[in-house]
Chain A
């Protein structure tokens, strides 16, 4: 991939092709250490897909999505000291349209229901609703843990892996098709027979 580019053995400096092409007095902006390591006429041979995966993993836009306590630590991860931007993942975007990654920081409480597992109103894990790639445990996870999670995600992306879809199939049914239990009877005068409805069973979620 690279040819050797060293001063000749007798000590007289030879001009590298690279220097020759850049010419005299040009600033060394383009001469990064990385470029130097690749030698005088660097080129990379790789599969296009692999390259694209690497690119995608190295420039992830996060959705600015602060929903509960975990998001306070998430903000700290973005900000000074932990500075997630160093890992190519620190720019929060305000709209999902511009974002590649959603971190779900809480209140679904996110991995399993967390401390609110027994609550009447808390969905027990984001995976009930959307497919997830990485779970970062903790209540809340420390910034270091979140960074680790992001790094793991980058690894997965670089390897071209994506989330297995394990979402619970909440199928919409017509109201008329539901089993006529007490609840359905009660709602009968408010919902039409052919309205599509979703039935969330708290008892069956993990």
Chain B
């Protein structure tokens, strides 16, 4: 390690510090920065030339001066120590303890950037996870190893929904649930507190590793945080064989921090000022989830994305949707009607559902029931729109049945208690109650056998 410190800072701006007259410093290496009050900060080399180095300073560049700032190049990449002792602990964005307990000591150290999983080392995720939430399990089922974000808006109950998933998620064929890696980026103290209390009261705290960067913590640290958290998740999943559920909130804060730094760096902006590499950058995070051949553990990822002005075409949800394997979309309209969880099923999607449900996984009618419910609800929404124009009294009898169905769907299928843990069979039976509002021969997406077996005949 080079013990030499450099006092040759030439510029500081927006979390970036440039230093010249440096030796050949490796790209990506860790840096220690000492300010005029002798306080230490951490940094990473993000551009390196023969005589000048650009450093992103995780604690930010506030209060630095150019004269008395000392920089030491640590000659090692950004790594964290890993051990089973991680569980139950709270860390900051670069893996330093935040809970007044000693740092993790271990000979297992990993580069936080990880490296890409070889596609031929993966296995396709197909094991159903029961979350106990009908709109997810029934229509947008989550499977082990999937990356499924929650698209929300400010003020919507995404935290409560995610906390409910954390409490209830379980695998069908295995005892024991998930280990949780919780990554909070730029969240309010109240939100962080909410999760911590929820983990405590449900008794899972010992199975959780928390990485927390609050809204008033330095934004640059948010850039490292998801990588650090995923490095821990990979260790728990692929070294220690656990099933790990990674919850990240809020990707929007992460992307904004990225924009801040990239702007300071002078990168060419693409949409809304976000850098052109936002897609690749997010993919580096999201693609770390999955299943690997011959490994028992898995990483399932549930990031929260609050859509700026509820706009799903905003670059952050948009690029997220292009990378993840579906999305759970929350609706302000349902929330205003007091429906919890306000999951809007039509724009929601789970792309991996098809291989995780059905005869051997949930129940044989599941795929067709989902498709039928979906089709009816889509039609019902059209009729709702029509009814709002011409009035419900003008509608035909069939159309009025659709309206009744839509109301029952929102009120009974979508709505459920925060502690209500519905089994998949309960969810499917509930679905059949709703389907039975229609004559059997109009249910073209389910099979004759399904109808004979599951349809409630008394309601015909």
Do they bind each other? no
Q: Using CB atoms and an 8 Å cutoff, list the residues of chain B in contact with chain A.
A: none
Q: Using CB atoms and an 8 Å cutoff, list the residues of chain A in contact with chain B.
A: none
